[in-house]
Structure formats: structure tokens, C-alpha cells
Amino acid sequence: MDRMAGQISATHGRLHPAGEPFDRRTLDVGDGHQLYVEQCGNPEGRAVLVLHGGPGGGCSPFMRRFFDPAHFRVVLFDQRGCGRSRPTASVEANTTRHLLADIEHIRTELGIESWLLFGGSWGATLAITYAESHPDQVTGLILRGVFLGSRAELDWFYGGGAGRFFPDLWAQFQGPIPMVERGDMIGAYHRRLFSGDDTEQGHYALPWLMWENALAGLNASAASHAPTDYARAFARLENHYFMNGCFLDEGQLLRDRHLIEHLPAVIVQGRYDMVCPPVSAYRLADGWETCDLRLIPASGHALSEPRISSELVTVMDMIRDQGILRTT
């Protein structure tokens, strides 16, 4: 989850200045996949890995602006099949296990011993999963809009829960699907997004994308268009992961939380997040002594929500100034 972060709100407050990467490269990670990777900020600074949402969202220049470029070495990459990685919209050899291997490939290629993880929505899912798999390579987690990849969360968003608050937008999302198939919206869209007909895929990708986009920001509106290639990649990848339960065991991230409970973490969560309701962030933080859950008032899901953006900059500046990630 999390589409085109940084393009929903025009008010970004106190972000750091925009800057260009000091390194761009394409990594061959096997299985026919080529990953776009960039590094920004200080080449000798503290390493931070940015994990974008979706699956399928891709990273953007906006994501560079949460970090003091004089202090942090910021690594961003487009996950398999999306953004500037190739092949576009491919779900072949594209699972959570593959993404974890890609992250390790990037870390090794760049000569980084350990790093902070900064991720929101699906990026938070991936950050938690990677940390639980490689705790020795992680120094802390900064999470936003927590998504645990559970059946309950998918049922909320694609089974009508969120639709009770947005009945007009839910009707638009259901509209292209015959009544008889609406009991399983993920499955119904899957049949069309993987029909083998690019035109049909593009047609159904747009309402999939717009449903999520319309709910992402507290004051977001339902846009009626997006670039076809982007919409197709986003919808296909997200649907592929959700059809497969995000390639995680049910309850896996909470089950394995003990593996990372020694690590400091901060969760920045919109109080009125309709894409990833706060209950998931609360469950993740509950009983985790080194985790600081910050519920942000009058805020939704998107990275670009003004209060969300401001709080994330505050957290990263705190890490810069204190030298380590402390929780309160």
C-alpha cells in the first residue's frame, strides 16, 4: 500500500532541501530483474535504507528530503517490477523473499555493515520483515502507516470496511466488477489485471489505483487519471502480493517481533489512517519497550500529510543530534 507518496499534499513544512544523488546505478539481481538504486547525502554518513510503499509504488525525490544531507547516507531503490527497475510490472520471481534478498544484495554491493530502516505502509511491512530476518544488520526502525500484511487488514480495505466511510468511492471501485464477483474484489481484479491483454489490464489498473489514492490523505480527492504504465505496474504488483497474503505467514510479523525487540523503533501513525488503521501500529508497539508509538492527530496515511512529514523530519533530526535512535 501507499501510492506516489509526496504528491497528495502541497504543504510539506520543514523538509530538508532537495538534492541530487551522488550515485545512481542499476543492479542485476538475477531472475531477469534489474534494480534501480540511488544514494544521496553524505557518502561517509550514517546509512539509512528507504523502503517505498505499494508493493509497486517506487521511490521519488520527495523521499530524499526527510534526511539532513550533511549527516545521512540515504539509499533508495525501486523494488522489483516498478519505478525505474526492469522489467516493468513483472511478477515473475517477485515475492517478499526475493525482495529481502535484493536488500541484502544492495547492502553488500554498497559495502554497508548495518543501517537504519525507514519505511511506510508496505515499506513498513518490508522493514519489519527484513529486520526480523537480519537483525544484526539493522540499527533501528522508523516506520509510518504500519501494515502487517494480515488478512484482517486486507479485508478492511478490499472487503468493504473502509467502504463504510467512503460509500461513493467504494461504489466506484466496485463498479467495473460484475455483482456476482464482488465478494472477492482482490480476486476479481486479479483475473483482469493478469488477463494477458495490456489494454484490459490498463483499464482495470486505474480504478484499483484510484481507490487507494482517494483514501491516502485526510483531504485527498479521488483523481480520475494516472500514467497508464505506472497504474498497471502498481496495480499488478500490489494485487499479486495481496492475492498471496504478501508471501507471509498469517501473523508472522507479530509472532517474530521478539527477534527485534532489542532494537529501537519509532512509529509515526496517522490517527485517521483509513488505508492502514492505527490498530496495527498499536499491536506492533504494545509491549515493545524500545518502541515509541506516535499517533499523529488530524492525519491520514500518506507520507506527504503535513503533520506526518513534520514528525518524521523531527525523528530523523533527533537521530542526527543524539547520535543514536532513542525512544521516550
Strand 23-30 relative to strand 291-296, pairing: unpaired
Is position 273 annotated as part of the catalytic site?
A: yes
Is position 121 annotated as part of the catalytic site?
A: yes
Backbone angles phi, psi at 152, to 5 degrees: -60, -40
* CA 121 vs CA 3, 5, 144, 158, 176: distances in Å: 10, 10, 6, 16, 26
d(CA 309, CA 261): 26
- 3-class DSSP assignment, residue 160: coil
Is position 310 annotated as part of the catalytic site?
A: no
- 3-class DSSP assignment, residue 328: coil
Cell of 127: 522493514
Cell of 43: 557518502
Catalytic residue among 2, 78, 102, 273: 273
d(CA 203, CA 176): 9
Cell of 297: 492527530
Label residue 36 left, alpha or beta by phi (over 0 means left) and psi (-120 to 50 means alpha): beta
Catalytic residue among 9, 60, 85, 121: 121
Catalytic residue among 68, 150, 301, 310: 301
Give me the active site residues, please: 121, 273, 301
